[in-house]
Structure 1
Amino acid sequence: MTSNGSRGAGISVAVVGGGIGGLTAALALLRLGIDAHVYEQAAELSEVGAGVQISPNASRVLHGLGLAEDLARTGVKPAALHQRRWDDGRTLTRAPLAGPLEETFGFPHYLMHRADLLAALAARLPAGRIRLGHRLTGLTDHGDRVEARFANGARVEAGVLVGADGIHSPTRALLFGPEHPRFTGCVAYRGLVPAERLRALELETTTQLWMGPGGHFVHYFVAGGRLVNFVAITEQDTWTRESWTDRRAAADALATFEGWHPQVRAIMEAVDETYLWALFDRTPLPRWSTGGVTLLGDACHAMLPFMAQGAAMAIEDAATLAACLASEGRPGLGRYEAERVPRTARVHALSTANKARFHLPDGPEQRERDAGMAAGASGLSLDAMAWIYGHDAFGHSTR
């Protein structure tokens, strides 16, 4: 991808937030000849240890940005998505990934450690493009430029400012006023286990999702197969702690999943420590932009992780934003929003619906769900997923 002398080549972009979406946006903009800098509030780039799924719609973007070798080195290609019953391990459905998915959509599906992906993105950015210790405190849109003010006293001007600053986005609050994310009634225990500790389980290289009453459990390999990432999600009524990520004893997770299949429990027993995350979302915003300021990723469409598309949607946002700004300059924000809002809202709705489907209590509805999945009614066929996996975020909308 190179600049073609388009209208956007003369503008500058300030990206607020140095997560996966923000770094992808900066890299995509620079590849298209647009001057871009990232302003991250933290003192260093870091990710709490957790896995992320990079489906073909996202790997298409990342390959286009030159990350194919990085993904191949640190990512894992799962053979299938294997959905199972919580107590006896019975297969409910098994959808092929790896070869069939790559052959159909042209790009792989990867399972990755978030820190590996973040490091790969940061390494591709030229020196000096990431400014750490910059917490956004104010914005002024002067019509032809946006002034950003930071807690450290720095002031920056750019033609466009992009808020890629997460679910607690200061950019969104400055644009549209304060809004509190909604606790979804779900919390997630997350952990990473050295794969060698689990050798006796003879785990397949698949994404395994175990469905049970009031919760589900997901595990897969990351970090080139050296680690097993797990997410154990359960329901609770309230969340009162200020932190979203508390260190918790593995015994807490085990107690929550009492009676689950021995494989599930063996994985949790092998972890040194777990983090407990509260899962929040928000009603998708009907608009993301005001003047020369727009939003990206969780800042505008935070969603439950039950479609494994949160990071992928942010990566898609980044690619589409870069393409729109490159072709139209600042007015391209209107097209960016028009293309992304309906698609992300659709994925958000399906992610929310999966909470009920995954967590059915044992009984008639659960048996009906299981029978439908066994009959191939899970919606996981390659044809059914084409609208997600086949999307070209650099090109045109397929919503």
Structure 2
Amino acid sequence: MDRPDIAVIGAGIGGLTLGLALRRHGIRARIYEQAPELGEVGAAVALAANGTRILRELGLGSALEATSAVPTELVYRHWSDARRVAAHPVGRWYEDRFGAPFWGVHRAHLQRALSQAWGTGDLHLGKELVSLRREGDTSALTFADGSTATAGLVVGADGIRSRVRGAITDAAPVYSGTSGFRGLVTRDAVPDLPDPDAVQFWMGPDAHLLHYATGEFINFLAVVEGPDRWEAPGGVAPAPDGTLAGIFRDWHPAIRTMVGAVPQGPRWGLFALPPLDRWSADGVVLLGDAAHAMLPHHGQGANQTIEDAAVLAGCLHRCDDVQVALRHYERLRRCRTRQVQRSSWVTSPLLHLPDGDAAANRDRRLHHLVDDFSWIHAYEPLLPA
């Protein structure tokens, strides 16, 4: 059958996974990335079963398993006395239940595995998209270096501040009123950390801290209330030295040690997209954060992007008509991602409760967490018949 020439904008997790999934179905795509090289970005990423099952199917299981850590447990702790509020097994128990493992992996290792699997062919670096114009059945792409390209189908895998999204909607990211600080510490820098091989949420008044192992390192994300308004352009802003240490000064010694073990990084504003009315229009379609950027409190950003890639590739493979394929893709993905988005948004204030009745009620509910959220982890991509 005749297939459109496909251009994928963005060579992050979503763009490369989509390229590999399309290739698996015998469909060629060209990937355009604004960075001059695919280097180390971010700190770490949690890959749940709904993501690892797809990556395994794409042949990346061995490469990722060799550089990933498998958590022993998921633990929720009290902010000051470190008591285990609730705990759930991970490891082999998790894989047996959900059919695929949970991996904590450095984002650079995931990016490297994806890019090595893709290779250098049909990968165009240093291509920052500046305009997208539809001309009949073709989109004309112009890049900042003056080069141009055309494509029958353009996939926006270019993140929360997507340039491609403007061809479909004027929706913009919404600030959550919370911000985060990221860090990557060596294990020996936190000798008093209990259960270092577990995924752990420390919950306290107006803040929480998530950490998990990625081999020899412990990755943490500290989420705090405020500032009330995000004034900085983009999602990152400097913070005065000592800001993070000051916020956690009354927390358990293990947390104070962790946040003090590395230089304070910048403050990340936590943004999400409102649910979009549509993800595609006139030969342009969105994927991942460009379509449904969400808060990180379920660790599902990368996993939902991987799901998108598998479903979009499958729809394009099964449907002769591209527009029909895109309608199937939206139908299969919009409801699910909205549910995860909504759940992530309401989770933040629950993790920031002060001690009291509301926190006690939350703690009781945490004992049922696996059953309550198995719908996220057990998911397998559905495709049109």
Shorter-chain TM-score tier:
over 0.9
After TM superposition, the structure 1 = structure 2 runs for residues 316-355 of structure 1, keeping only pairs within 5 Å, are 316-329=307-320, 330-331=322-323, 332-355=325-348
1:27–1:119 Cα change, 3 Å: same
Count of paired positions: 381
Deviations 1:268-297 (A, max 9, x none): 121134232110112111210002110001
Other structure's SS at 1:238 match: coil
Deviations 1:314-340 (A, max 9, x none): 010001000000111413111001100
Deviation at 1:124, TM superposition (A): 0.5
RMSD: 1.8
1:54–1:168 Cα change, 3 Å: same
Aligned twin of 1:92? 85
Q: 1:388 and 1:38 mapped to 2: Cα distance?
A: 29
Deviation at 1:243, TM superposition (A): 4.5
Q: 1:273 and 1:247 mapped to 2: Cα distance?
A: 10
Deviation at 1:47, TM superposition (A): 4.5
1:233 aligns with 2:223: yes
Q: 2:159 and 2:293 mapped to 1: Cα distance?
A: 8
Query: What residue identity is the alignment partner of 1:230?
Result: F
Q: 2:261 and 2:345 mapped to 1: Cα distance?
A: 30
Q: 1:48 and 1:125 mapped to 2: Cα distance?
A: 18
1:266 aligns with 2:257: yes
1:292 aligns with 2:283: yes
Deviation at 1:311, TM superposition (A): 0.7
After TM superposition, the structure 1 = structure 2 runs for residues 74-223 of structure 1, keeping only pairs within 5 Å, are 74-177=67-170, 179-201=171-193, 203-222=195-214
Identity fraction in percent: 40
Other structure's SS at 1:137 match: strand
Q: 2:328 and 2:192 mapped to 1: Cα distance?
A: 52
Aligned twin of 1:356? 349
Other structure's SS at 1:172 match: helix
Q: 2:181 and 2:342 mapped to 1: Cα distance?
A: 23
Q: 1:282 and 1:388 mapped to 2: Cα distance?
A: 19
1:249–1:80 Cα change, 3 Å: farther
Aligned twin of 1:4? none
1:310 aligns with 2:310: no
Q: Determine if contact 2:190/2:254 at 8 Å carries over to the other structure.
A: no
Deviation at 1:127, TM superposition (A): 2.0
1:20 aligns with 2:8: no
Q: 2:310 and 2:365 mapped to 1: Cα distance?
A: 36
Other structure's SS at 1:169 match: coil
Query: What residue identity is the alignment partner of 2:34?
Result: Q
Equivalent residue in structure 2 for 1:384, among 363, 372, 384: 372
Q: 2:299 and 2:23 mapped to 1: Cα distance?
A: 27
Deviation at 1:133, TM superposition (A): 1.4
Q: 2:122 and 2:217 mapped to 1: Cα distance?
A: 31
Q: Determine if contact 1:12/1:34 at 8 Å carries over to the other structure.
A: no
Q: Determine if contact 1:53/1:109 at 8 Å carries over to the other structure.
A: yes
Deviation at 1:248, TM superposition (A): 5.3
1:38–1:141 Cα change, 3 Å: same
Deviation at 1:147, TM superposition (A): 2.4
Equivalent residue in structure 2 for 1:57, among 46, 50, 55: 50
Q: 2:196 and 2:8 mapped to 1: Cα distance?
A: 39
Query: What residue identity is the alignment partner of 1:355?
Result: S
Deviations 1:298-357 (A, max 9, x none): 111011001110110001000100000011141311100110000000000000110121
Gaps of 5+ in 1: 1-6
Query: What residue identity is the alignment partner of 2:208?
Result: H
TM-score normalised to structure 1 length: 0.91
Query: What residue identity is the alignment partner of 1:231?
Result: L
Aligned twin of 1:35? 28
Q: Determine if contact 1:85/1:210 at 8 Å carries over to the other structure.
A: yes
Deviation at 1:143, TM superposition (A): 4.4
1:354–1:47 Cα change, 3 Å: farther
1:73–1:248 Cα change, 3 Å: farther
Gaps of 5+ in 2: none
